[in-house]
Amino acid sequence: MDTEQDVTGEPPRSAPYYAPAGDEAGLFEQAAKHDLPVLIKGPTGCGKTRFVQYMADRLGRALYTVACHDDLTAADLVGRHLIGPAGTFWQDGPLTRAVREGAICYLDEIIEARKDTTVILHPLTDDRRMLPLDATGECLHAAPGFMLVVSYNPGYRNLLKGLKPSTRQRFVALSFDYPAPAVEQQIVAHEGGVDADTAHTLVKLAGALRHLGGHDLDESPSTRLLIHAARLIRAGVDTLTACTACLAEPLTDDLTTRAAILDVVRAHFAVAPARAPMRTSIRTSIRTPIRAI
Amino acid sequence: MEEQVGIRWHHLVTRLADTRHPQAAVMLERIAPRLATVLRALGADPGLGVRASPERRLATPRRWLQKLAGTGRRHAVAWRDDDGLRLPPVLDTFDQIALNEGLGLWLVALASRAPAPGPADDWAGWNRRLVAQTLDDYPGLAELYGRLARTHVAQRPRPALQESDGSRREAALQAALLEPRDAPAVPPAAGDPLPVPLWLYPVEAADNARPPSDDAAEERPAAAGAGQQLRQRKRASYVDDIDGRSGLLVFRLESLFSWSEFIPLDRTADDDDTDAARVAEDLDHLSLSRKRSASSSRLRVDLDLPSATEDDIPLGEGRLLPEWDWRKAALLPDHCRVVPMLPRGATPLPLPARLQPAATRLRQRFESLRPQKSWLRRQADGDVLDLSACVDFSVQRQLGSAPGQPLLWRRQSAQQRDLACLVLADLSLSTEAAIDDEHQVIDVIRDSLHLLGEALDAGGDAFSMYGFSSRRRDHVRLSLIKNFADAWGDEVRGRVQSLRPGYYTRMGAAIRQATEILGGQAAEQRLLLLLTDGKPNDLDLYEGRYGMEDTRHALMEARRAGLQPFCVTIDQEAADYLPHLFGAQRFHLLRRAQDLPRVLPQLYLLLTGRSP
């Protein structure tokens, strides 16, 4: 089993932090109420996964998360036979478990999964709400409360990958983006544990760097990167070092772009109080030529 | 002898009079890409750039040595214009490299806060407010600015003791540099103060810096390539054409134009007048003539057809292809003749040396992405048992439904990635346009084809490359660079190197022909990659909506044939029409044409799913 699973199976103990950007929580609740599957699209690190965790907690449902990848087979989702001490036995996959228990099944980056894998979702995502298990001959009907949530990043323009239109048209779709500056500042301050000023500067810096997305940079800096930088800064790492490690290096391999990012970082963070000594030095600089004479 | 003494004297006295620091000079062209990125980030506009500024004449006070040497009249200063920032081509105000680089960064930050070019009046007040705002917005720059301002003020002359307008202004200026927030206003005085390298200047006032509105200009085929580019941007203004048809010939000796005022450097007509170009370099003001008409330039192009012995070698009579007429909503059968061509005089050439390092890097990267050997599961025979197949088999046997010939083995085999790519490059005359001081679009396309070819060759994907251009519907030229059967090598590199721009862009016919070629490939995934610099257009009615709709139809045919068309363009207006032609996610717009060779292989990886 090479599925990367974060199978908690029970609601997290403390409620996950999530700052809503709009009415996405209301929409999600309505979708859950009416047994509709949800598709979330948005750039990397903008809070898709956190949102799903938050909603699972709010709805009081268990959450099964599957990170999708090229080799994900239908068996990885549905389940397979395993060998035990008394011969073989059937092991439910995360999707089957969610269907039986009435939990939320979250398929992260579904676009990475092969198209034939996603086809098994079809009978689950229309009003039949059932999951046929070929290997055991069962046909499961989803328990009340079962909900399918998938997400992907539309920024990757891979011609050979993509959701089949027939898959895509089964979902209620929510489009995510990086939060508005005020909200993002609040998130960075809360998650990164830094003061409001540092969070403000980090968000302003990210705003500047996001202008480079799609042009100088392949992708814009994410809220997640900002939180990482904030955590390092809070831990006492020098601001420039933290921004180099958390912003410049992850965003680009190009030396010129990296140097430019560092210039932008330097412009945003005051290094030392510079205003006071300036006045004293005016006199020295004007006096110097006189001394020379 | 006298001449030599004169030259020596000139060198000596100009060096003595020079206040700059050549030993710490920072060349703008070295740091411009980095500064431009910073400007785009801070200035919130992806279209901004950093370019070199010409020197401008300022009526500044000069030292007696400068008067003696005849220097100090013209100064390179920085200013903000609509396209971004103009910086002196050499930054050598300070005696330390770090400070000169810092000056560039400072001016970029300053320009990012300037919403528009500065006003001509109240120049000092505008700059002071701008500096204060920049320091507020970017507190990290306070330390740098403090150092720059202190060092620069120490370089400026100490205001003379006697009270004159000039010295009062100089004193106020120095105070404003050191204390941009609370220094008193700078009083006016005659002449210009010594240049302030830390401030932005207004755009140089020119009475007619905009070309006179000329409708014919729009219809002209885009052949804007100037034969020789001047290294610096020159101040230029358009002058009224001398109307040769006016009846009365008035001849006054004093109205003869001198060289310095008017030289008929007709940039639109592609004159190879190297002499004029040389003279233009010496002048600080160019007068441009706008004289032209669509008919004359069309005539010129048609007459410029190379003779049969000079032109590329046609490979056969060509193939008749249909064209879509959107007004009739019908395909016109056999409407275009596509003639395959082979570049004449293409000799096998090695890869240009300057591309060598990039090519080596790309080769390594793509070689590592070559299809790896992989384990095939559930085989009838093989080297290793397939455990999951065995488990399934034993389960099925217990359930009583096991197959008689179970597939229980794993076998290692080279997996074929089933991918074919056809690159179709626009070679129309518009690719002759200059993109910077030294390069034309066609140079960039050549470099891109070289590097992409190296990369794809290393990656082991099947690919072919064609160029296209057209002259009306009976002569659509499809230049063969590499077909699917050719091996990538010096012969193909020679063909890439001998590509020359010419004619127009009948995109639809070229796409149909490419569709036919690529459709003949048996690969499962077939990528049609189009490189272009503008809209479809040709001499006849193939322009505007007609060309657009035909291209769109050709692309729909390609998609129906199971191909994946994708377009890479450097046309800045392409976002207006490419979504209509290719679909929202099916094109890439490059802001800087120079990036194409670097971006194209990356884009290829992205498109074929081998990089996130």
DSSP output for B447-477 = HHHHHHHHHHHHHT-EEEEEEEEESSTT-EE
Looking at the structure, tell me whether residues A154 and A59 fall in a common domain: yes
CATH number of the domain to which A147 belongs: 3.40.50.300
| 3 state SS of B136 | helix
A-B Cβ pairs (cutoff 8 Å, strict): 135
Domain annotation covers residue A114:
yes
What is the DSSP code (8-state) at residue B55? -
Euclidean distance between the first and final Cα of chain B, in Å?
Answer: 69
CB B520, CB B508: distance < 8 Å: no
Residue in B40, B566, B609 closest to A211 by CB:
B40
pLDDT tens track for A110-169: 888 877 778 889 999 988 899 998 878 889 999 999 999 999 887 665 666 667 778 888
| 3 state SS of B328 | coil
Using left for φ > 0, alpha for ψ between -120 and 50, and beta otherwise, residue B609 falls in left
Looking at the structure, tell me whether residues A90 and A118 fall in a common domain: yes
Which residues of A are less than 8 Å from B146 in CB distance? Answer: 274, 277-278, 281
Nearest to B456 by CA among B592, B603, B570, B309: B603
Q: What is the pLDDT of residue A199?
A: 94
Which residues of B are less than 8 Å from A259 in CB distance? Answer: 34
Residue in A80, A208, A271 closest to B41 by CB:
A208
Mutation target among A158, A168, A252, A263 for the B interface, most CBs of B within 10 A? A263
Confidence of residue A79 (pLDDT cuts 50, 70, 90): confident
Domain annotation covers residue A264:
yes
Domain annotation covers residue A110:
yes
Q: What is the pLDDT of residue B278?
A: 55
The helices-and-strands tally (H runs, E runs) of chain B is: 18, 22
Nearest to B558 by CA among B330, B335, B324: B324
Mutation target among A158, A257, A284 for the B interface, most CBs of B within 10 A? A158
CA B216/CA B416 separation, integer angstroms: 55
Which residues of B are less than 8 Å from A281 in CB distance? Answer: 146, 150
CA B368/CA B490 separation, integer angstroms: 23
List B residues 258-287 in contact with A (Cβ-Cβ < 8 A): none
Q: What is the pLDDT of residue B162?
A: 64
CA B270/CA B434 separation, integer angstroms: 12
Q: For helices B28-43 and A255-268, give the axis angle rounded to 10 degrees.
A: 50
List B residues 495-534 in contact with A (Cβ-Cβ < 8 A): 525, 527
Q: What is the pLDDT of residue B545?
A: 83
ipTM above 0.85, yes or no: no
The Cα of A58 is separated from the nearest Cα of chain B by a number of Å equal to: 33
Nearest to A176 by CA among A57, A6, A20: A20
Q: How many other β-carbons are positioned within 10 Å of the β-carbon of residue B227?
A: 15
CB B125, CB B88: distance < 8 Å: no
Looking at the structure, tell me whether residues A16 and A96 fall in a common domain: yes
Domain annotation covers residue A188:
yes
Range of the domain at A187: 181-269
The single-letter code of the amino acid at B494 is G
Looking at the structure, tell me whether residues A186 and A169 fall in a common domain: no
Looking at the structure, tell me whether residues A115 and A215 fall in a common domain: no
Q: What is the pLDDT of residue B207?
A: 41
Looking at the structure, tell me whether residues A191 and A220 fall in a common domain: yes
Residues A211, A213, A217, A223: is their CA dihedral positive or negative? Answer: positive
CB B310, CB B344: distance < 8 Å: yes
In angstroms, the Cα distances linking B524 to A281, B142, B421, B527 are 72, 59, 11, 10
Domain annotation covers residue A275:
no
Residues A253, A255, A261, A265: is their CA dihedral positive or negative? Answer: positive
Residue in B138, B146, B608 closest to A274 by CB:
B146
Looking at the structure, tell me whether residues A134 and A204 fall in a common domain: no
Q: For helices B165-178 and B142-155, give the axis angle rounded to 10 degrees.
A: 150
Looking at per-residue pLDDT, the higher value among A28 and B224 belongs to A28
Looking at the structure, tell me whether residues A83 and A152 fall in a common domain: yes
Residues B302-312 as b/e (b if ≥16 CB within 10 A, e otherwise) read: eeeeeeeeeeb
The Cα of B576 is separated from the nearest Cα of chain A by a number of Å equal to: 17
Domains and CATH numbers, chain B: 2-178 (no CATH), 216-222+233-303 (no CATH), 330-367+417-607 (3.40.50.410), 372-414 (no CATH)
Question: Which phi and psi (to 5°) does residue B193 adopt?
Answer: -70, 165
Looking at the structure, tell me whether residues A165 and A192 fall in a common domain: no
Looking at the structure, tell me whether residues A56 and A118 fall in a common domain: yes
Q: How many other β-carbons are positioned within 10 Å of the β-carbon of residue B353?
A: 7
CB contact under 8 A, B41 and A209: yes
CA B240/CA A68 separation, integer angstroms: 67
Looking at the structure, tell me whether residues A61 and A170 fall in a common domain: yes
CA A69/CA A1 separation, integer angstroms: 13
Which residues of B are less than 8 Å from A218 in CB distance? Answer: 602
Residue in A154, A267, A275 closest to B109 by CB:
A267
Domain annotation covers residue A278:
no
Is B612 part of the contact surface with chain A (CB cutoff 8 Å)? Answer: yes
| 3 state SS of A15 | coil
Is B393 part of the contact surface with chain A (CB cutoff 8 Å)? Answer: no
| 3 state SS of A64 | strand
Domain annotation covers residue A265:
yes
Confidence of residue A17 (pLDDT cuts 50, 70, 90): very high
CA A36/CA A38 separation, integer angstroms: 6
Looking at the structure, tell me whether residues A220 and A249 fall in a common domain: yes
Q: What is the pLDDT of residue B306?
A: 54
Q: Say what the pTM is.
A: 0.66
Domain annotation covers residue A200:
yes
CA B220/CA B223 separation, integer angstroms: 8
Give me the average pLDDT of each 10-residue run along chain B (612 residues). 77 69 86 88 77 80 71 80 84 90 92 79 85 91 92 84 78 88 80 86 60 38 37 46 48 49 48 51 48 40 51 76 87 89 83 87 81 75 85 82 78 72 90 80 90 89 91 88 90 90 89 91 86 85 85 90 87 78 80 83 81 54
CB contact under 8 A, A211 and B150: no
CB contact under 8 A, B146 and A278: yes
CB contact under 8 A, A257 and B154: no
Q: How many other β-carbons are positioned within 10 Å of the β-carbon of residue B200?
A: 24
Any residues with CB less than 8 A from the CB of B72 and at least 6 apart, and which?
B17, B60, B62, B63, B66
The Cα of B225 is separated from the nearest Cα of chain A by a number of Å equal to: 26
If one counts the domains in chain A, the total is 2
Residue in B35, B46, B140 closest to A270 by CB:
B140
Nearest residue of B to residue A209 by CA position? B41
Single residue among A146, A175, A204 that ends a domain in this structure: A175
The Cα of B28 is separated from the nearest Cα of chain A by a number of Å equal to: 14
Output the DSSP codes for A36-49: --EEEE--TTSSHH
List B residues 28-67 in contact with A (Cβ-Cβ < 8 A): 33-35, 37-38, 40-46
What is the DSSP code (8-state) at residue A174? E
Any residues with CB less than 8 A from the CB of B459 and at least 6 apart, and which?
B366, B367, B369, B370
